[in-house]
Chain A
Amino acid sequence: MPEPASTPETRRTSRGRLAAAFQKPSRRQLVVAGLLAVLGFGMVTQMRSYEVNDTYAGYRQQDLIDVLNGLAGTTQRAETELARLEETRSRLQSDTSAEQAATEQARTEIDSLEVLAGVVPVTGPGIRITITEETGPVDIDSLLDTVQEMRTAFAEAMQINGQVRIVASTSFEDGVGGIYVDGTLLEPPYVIDVIGDPATLSGGMVFPEGPIEQLENDGAEVVVEELQSLDIEAVAEPDRTEFAQPGSGS
């Protein structure tokens, strides 16, 4: 519909029509202006509400259901993951406790092996054998028999003269004015400290043709004291074995 106020020249081109509309506003433009105002108003309102609205309030029902479904799936996955991790944790915990038990057992074993190997000082009840030479030197065999009898009577640790720990590999050798025990010259009187059950140990000394009789035949005086507490301070140096290797154990 041509503008009534337009001249024929301006009406011919579309650009001219636009320019004419700007130059000569008509009353009909008011309607268009009203609708455009509605459009601008709606546009700005929507932009603002979209900016402000970051909750789920603007979602339609189906979208909300989808969101809910997604969350349910995520929850389920998370719970599965949680269960898996908890299982792993309990497995690791039981592993740890089993390992601790094994460590504890190994430590106990180490303690008893250390006592047997004589590498640590020990204390406990036992007997003290004092051998004093009276009329003649003590025969090394008698001394060895004494040690052997103590081992038979479940002696757990032994030392002689407070200097040498008697262990599985301890050697006895005759020397000038005494005996060499593990290469250390010991002179009489010999004092042997033995840790074990005192009654059993002293019983192992006194039987007929036992160590006491043998030692007295050598011309020595033997005194056996039963002690409730005895300290063995001497330790044996653990030797690295040169030839023996641990076997497979079966």
Chain B
Amino acid sequence: MIAALGLLVGILLGLIFQPDVPPSLEVYLPIAVVAALDAVLGGLRAYLDGIFDDKVFVVSFLSNVFIAAAIVYLGDLLGVGGQLTTGVIVVLGIRIFSNVAAIRRHLFHA
């Protein structure tokens, strides 16, 4: 309940303040958002599995975001930032799909 409210509050804050993304972070924000989405879906899956732990969730959330951004940053340094972004997005996309599939099985038994 509080978690859903938190998501709502975040969206509302974003809509109200409409912050400008600093140019140096512009490349990393979309990757970080996708990584966080993956972490959240993973957490939901774990909760439905009955193995949810909030410490694990916080750590996985932060490390997901950090590692995704770090990979893209490294790619930018190596001159393959665009390709690595695509790669990270693909991997996270696959994970999101598998997490959603597990959640779906839990909730609908299908």
B residues 5-44 near A (Cβ < 8 Å) are 5-11, 13-15, 18-21, 23, 26-27, 29-30, 32-33, 36-37, 39-40, 43
Known A29-B1, A37-B7, A46-B21; contact A18-B48, beta-carbon cutoff 8 A: yes
CB distance from A97 to the nearest CB of B (A): 55
Q: Is A45 in contact with B14, judged by CB distance below 8 angstroms?
A: yes
Q: From B79, which residue of chain A is reached at the shortest CB distance?
A: A62
Q: Would you list which residues of chain A between 27 and 77 have a CB under 8 Å from chain B?
A: 28-46, 48-50, 53, 57-58, 60-63
- Chain B interface bracket (under 10, 10 to 19, 20 to 34, 35 or more): 35 or more
Residue A238 is within 8 A (CB to CB) of chain B in the complex: no
CA–CA, A30 to B9, complex, Å?
Answer: 12
* A-B Cβ contacts below 8 A, count: 136
Chain A CB within 8 A of B57 CB: yes
State the majority secondary structure of interface residues on B: helix
When the two chains form the complex, which single residue of A2, A29, A41, A61 contacts B3, counting CB atoms closer than 8 Å?
A29
Q: Residue B1 contacts which of A25, A37, A45 (CB distance < 8 angstroms)?
A: A25
B26 A31 Cβ-Cβ under 8 A: no
Is residue A22 within 8 Å, beta carbon to beta carbon, of the partner chain? yes
Partner of B21, one of A2, A14, A49: A49
Contacts A29-B3, A44-B11, A49-B26; A1 near B36 (Cβ below 8 A): no
Classify chain A's interface size. Answer: 35 or more
**Chain B residues near A34 (CB-CB < 8 A):** 6
A153 CB to closest chain B CB (Å) equals: 94
Residue A15 CB within 8 A of the other chain:
yes
A30 to B58, CA, bound (A): 11
Q: Confirm or deny: B93 has a beta carbon within 8 angstroms of a beta carbon on chain A.
A: no
A102 at the interface (CB under 8 A from B): no
* Chain B residues, Cβ within 8 Å of A2: 50
Min distance, Cβ B102 to any Cβ of chain A, angstroms: 10
B97 on the A face (CB < 8 A) = no
CB of B51 closer than 8 Å to a CB of A:
yes
Determine if B10 and A39 form an interchain contact, defined as CB atoms under 8 angstroms apart: yes
Selected contact of A21 from candidates B5, B47, B107, CB within 8 Å: B47
List, sorted by A's number, 11 A–B pairs whose CB atoms are closer than 8 Å: A21-B3, A31-B57, A33-B3, A33-B5, A33-B6, A39-B36, A42-B32, A43-B33, A45-B18, A46-B29, A62-B81
